[in-house]
Structure 1
Amino acid sequence: MRLLIINEDSKKDVGALFKSIQEYTISYERTSFIVTIHTFPNGADIIANYMDQIPMFQFVATMAGYDTLLIIAKTEDQAEKICHQLQEILSN
């Protein structure tokens, strides 16, 4: 478990991250320890920028293209947790 300290600026960033995931995500899937997010055009890099700034998701790296974002997790369990977090964000 990680402790996440959220100040006012972080709250704005988390809100922007959630909004970008909700606005740009078409679908996502997990393959082993990699989570792939398919987005509308130009959405992948926006989501990746916010994810890289906020330590909410535990991953090794992100790689964004035009409409695809790869999230590389350390383990399959962490990748599954990322998928659960994405589902929670998308269901709100």
Structure 2
Amino acid sequence: MTRERDDIRQGSSVRGAIDLAVVAHQLCVLEGVEAPVDEGINPPRGLPKDYTEVMLNATLVALSGRIHLDDTAVDTPESVLLEIWQEYFHLRPAIAEPG
């Protein structure tokens, strides 16, 4: 999602995604949060709140230095990442499924 926004000049690389996964795993271990493995969960719907909060922290830690905003952007990398996180974990699950 960092590569699709107009206010981001350079999005995160694959290494950023790897770092995000590593940081998220380590934060889950440190905070005692179990990553959801239930096959009935259709991410991002139904994820535990403590897990989504760990994902926000991991996103900010792993990616805030890996994205470069457009010169005209008035936001910070952290605020842009927060918007992306909110879109994925809050707005997408709120959208009604077709049919």
Q: TM-score, normalised by structure 1?
A: 0.32
Q: Which structure: larger Rg? A: 2
Structure possessing the higher relative contact order (Cα contacts under 8 Å, 6 or more residues apart): 2
| Greater per-residue strand proportion | 1
Q: TM-score, normalised by structure 2?
A: 0.31
